[in-house]
Each structure stands twice: as structure tokens, then as C-alpha cells.
Amino acid sequence: MTDAIGVILFIGVIAYAVFGGADFGAGFWDLTAGGAERGSAPRSLIDRSIGPVWEANHTWLIYCLVVLWTGFPPAFAAITTTLYIPLGLAALGIVLRGSGFAFRKVTLRTAQQRLTGVIFAISSVLTPFCFGGIAGAVASGRVPSAGGGAPLSSWLNPTGVLGGVLAVVVCAYLAAVFLSSAATHPYPDEALHLYFRRRALAAGIAVGIVCLAGVFVLHVDAPRLFHQLSTRGLALLIVSAAAGLAALATLRARRARRARLPRSLASLAVATVIAGWGVAQYPYLLGTHLSLTQAAAPASTLWVLVAVACTAAVLIAPSLAALYVLHERDRLTSSA
């Protein structure tokens, strides 16, 4: 039962990384789009692409928090009392990002639009960096079981910074792949497609460079995690690398530019690398000192949580799927 709850938790983590990651990455490209005139077309596509779904993507974050604090309360307490700074910054970033995105659409003055746009874009980079730092702190064992760990060094360390940088570039990669596809349907724009395709290729190369650098970082700073990733999680990492390279290859093939294949491959690449982290971490939730069994809530609570998760799968997952399909088919009015 405990392992089942762990799987349920990681399903939410993967879903938020893919859907929320593409959402945050769009903010990165908004930040780097250039001035008002030069960046007008990319920002318009970004607004149209994420407008109807950006709030729904945070459902997965709420799902993860609920499963963590209900299923593994000691781990939740340890994480929140140690990593309250990056958690607070991430929460602030989500709020500021949503506010900036919403107000940019309704403000009339250029100065106000620029300000809200900058807030939206910077928050879109800050939030995934903080989440990546949190993942690095948890994976490298810097969160004590009793909580109350070092508020800065627990996540501002080589593995934490690696996690933050990797989260930002992965989000940028996902978003560029998704946006390159969005530029072909329902309103084809060859120039925008090429614009985001080039950025997807560049972001994919950046992800590869960061991952290669990460090998050396983890070998020195988190040896157990490095060992587990290179043994138990190796197969999933190979699948991730292959899917990522295949996504870049299909993006370069002009005949595939209208296909959904690059998006699916990019999503698979992200999902499998996170699954690899989960496999490498097992059976521990925090480094090597708090296992799933030690952190688990009473069996009766876990059974209720399983029932709730199954109910959510029946009710909420189809609703989100319908939202994404309707958005894909341009049946929704884009709004903040």
C-alpha cells in the first residue's frame, strides 16, 4: 500500500512537470522575446496557447501537496520546515506570474503592460528554479527527517542549483516544442513555427549540456544518487535521452512539423527522467534516512487516500483531458 501511494504521488509530479513545465517555459520565451515590436508575434502565440489552460495545470501541484501531506506527513513536515524559503518563493512566483499574465491582458498603457509582462516572465523562471532546487535538496539528502534543516545551504548547493538550472532549461525545451506545434494549428504561421523550432533545438542542446555537467556534479556532491541513477535508473535515463533526441530529430524534419509526435516525445523524455529519479530514490523519500514505510500515514488513511485518488482519476482526469482537447481544437475562448 505504501508503495502504491508513492507511485500515486510521482504520477502527480510527472504530470505537473510536463504540463506545468511547458506552461512555465512559455514564460521563459516571453522574457527573451525582445522588445514590444519584435516580440509581439511570439508573445501573442504564448498568450493564445496557455491562456485557457494555465490555471488548470496547477491542479497537479495541489494534487501532489495533498498526497504528500496526507500520505507521508513526517516527510511533508520535514520538507516544509527546511525548504520554506524556496517553497515560499515558488508560491510567490506562482501568484505573481498569474497576476502578471492576467493584468497584461487588460492594461491599456504600454508601461503597465511591460511591467506586468516582466513580472509574468521573471516569475516563470523563478518558480521552476525553486522547484528544481527543492528536488535537488530532497534527492541529495539535505532535508533532515525531523525537519528544521539549514534554510539556505539545504537547497543552494551544487545539486540544488543543478536541479534548478535543469528545471528551467527543461521547461524552456518543453515550451518551445509545444509552441512550435501550436504555430501550425489552428492558424498556421510558418515564421513562428521556425522561430520556436530553432529555440527548441537550442534548448534541447542546453538540456544535454546541463545533464552532462550534472553527471560530474552528482558524482561529487550526491554519490548515492549518482550510483542509483547509473544503475537502477539507467534504463529510464536512456529512454529519456533517446526520446529527447528523437523529438529534436522530428522537429528538424519539415514533413513532421504539423504532427504531434515531437510533443509526445518531448513529454516522454521529461516523464522518464523524473521516473528515473523516483526509481533511484526508492525506497527513500528523503535522501537515505527516511523511507516510504517510515513516513507513511496509518493504513486506514492510506486506503482513504487511494479511494480519493481513484475518484480523482475518474472525475478530474477526463475533465482535464477534455479541456486540453477542446483547446487543441480551438473550441475555447482564450482568456486569463
**Left (φ > 0), alpha (ψ -120 to 50) or beta: where does 157 sit?**
beta
Q: Is the pLDDT of residue 334 over 70?
A: no
Q: Which are the contacts of 12, defined by CB distance < 8 A and separation ≥ 6?
A: 60, 63, 64, 67
Q: Distance (Å, rounded) from C-alpha 124 to C-alpha 171?
A: 9
Cα–Cα nearest to 119, from 87, 85, 94:
94
For the whole model, what pTM was predicted?
A: 0.91
Q: Distance (Å, rounded) from C-alpha 61 to C-alpha 225?
A: 24
- Residues 299-305, mean pLDDT to the nearest whole number: 93
Q: Is the pLDDT of residue 332 over 70?
A: no
Query: To 10 degrees, the CA torsion angle through 291, 293, 296, 297?
Result: -150
pLDDT tens-place string over residues 185-231: 767 788 898 999 999 999 999 999 999 999 999 999 999 999 999 99
The partner residues of 286 in beta bridges, in order of sequence, read 290
Query: Looking at residue 252, what is its pLDDT?
Result: 77
Query: Looking at residue 333, what is its pLDDT?
Result: 57
Please state, rounded to an integer, the average pLDDT across all residues of the chain.
88
